Each structure stands twice: as C-alpha cells, then as structure tokens.
Amino acid sequence: MSITEKQQKLYSQCAVNSCQLHMAPNNEGGLDLTATGGYGDFTDSFDSEVNTFRLCHKHSHRFANWLNNPEVLHMYYGHSHAGYERGFWYGHISWEQRTWLSYVNLFFHSWYKQGFKTAKNYIKEQLRSHKNWSRVDINDHSTKVRWGKYISQFLFLDNHSKGFFVGLQRKFQSKLYNFAKNYYRKQTSLYSEIWSKALNDGFSESEKAYLRDLGLAIAASEEE
C-alpha cells in the first residue's frame, strides 16, 4: 500500500499546529494516534482515508495527562528516555527518572490527578524500582545495592543524552580507556598478542570459534 504525501506529512511532525516538531519514524518518545470512526461518530472514516498522526513527547504527555486514564494511556510509565526528547527535564516523571524533583512531582501530580492513595503507591513502587535497578544484578534481588549509584540518581540525571555531571564522568572514563588501550597497543602488537595467547592456551572457546570463522571467511574471500 502506497503512502500518500498527506500521510507522510502527518507522520513526520507533531500534529499540534502550534508545535509541528519534525520527528523521525521512532525513537523520539512520540505517540502514534489514528483518527477513525463510523456513521454518526465524531469522524466517519468508512469511505475515506484514515489519518494516522503523531504527537511529540511533550504533547504525548499532555494528551495522557488530559485523558487521566492509566488503563488507556499511562501518564508516567510505558516508555523510557534518552534525555533529548522535547519536554524532558530534571524533574521529569517516569519509571526510570529518579531525581529528588521527579519524586516530588510524581507524588503531588498523581495526588492531584488520582488521589492520595494512588500517589502513595506510586512512590512506594518508584522507591522499590530505584533500589532494584541499583543492585549489582538487577535480576537477582539478593545481590547488594550499589548505594553510591542509588544516591547519585537522587541528585544527577544519568540519561544517555542528558546529565552534565554524569556526562563529564563518561567523557573522562572514555578518555582514560582510550589512553590505556593506545598505550597497551604501542607496547604489544596485535600479532604478538594473538601468538602469546595461542602458545599459552589463553583463548576462550568463543574467541577460538570467532578466529575459526574469521579464517574461513578470509579463505572463502580469497577463493572468490
């Protein structure tokens, strides 16, 4: 089925007329919506083109907030953040945002929208999730909690594309890693490293399998 010019336009930008943010097909925290209906409904799409349109991340939150119905579309959960989404900020509410301000916003906003009991349950679940995702192994509740990470997330954003202090830490770690890698390679060539491992039986089974596959691929390429 061919895509019309109108459909391409609707799917490539936020449908809110005052926004019209250009959007990629996915990975920007957007929301896809379809306007459809039948005879006597708000719109009758029986014999016409069905409009599928998009909302940017900011207006997706506003739409979910307006609905105020988690069974249809949850205001807080169901998606994660890289940090570059429009509307994302230090106090953004989400299952993986754990700054002190996001906790405060979650409690008071959910209290206002859905009542004190619901707000209290949200905070309990957020604290439980925060602790679990700070464990050495998030799939094993018996492993230790990394309290340094737990506390730092109260203070700093650690999203891929957001968070000044965590960003500096990642840059430092990257530079340190590259320095160590380059220094090591200057002292030890790849050729000598491979032979040293081979002589001392230092290859793991996966590395051996990789080298075998690489050799076969090179041999096949030379034959061609």
Mean pLDDT of the chain: 89
C-alpha distance from residue 136 to each of 29, 99, 142, 158 (Å): 28, 20, 9, 17
Task: Say what the pLDDT of residue 162 is.
Answer: 72
Q: What would the pLDDT profile of 198-220 be if each residue is shown by its tens digit?
A: 888 888 999 889 988 988 998 88
Q: Residue 75 is encoded by which pair of tokens?
A: 């205001």
Q: What would the pLDDT profile of 32-80 be if each residue is shown by its tens digit?
A: 999 999 999 999 988 888 889 999 999 999 999 999 999 999 999 989 8
Q: Residue 116 is encoded by which pair of tokens?
A: 């004190």
**Domain parsing of the chain, residue ranges:** 1-84, 89-155, 167-223
Q: What would the pLDDT profile of 132-179 be if each residue is shown by its tens digit?
A: 999 999 999 999 999 999 999 999 988 877 767 667 777 788 888 888
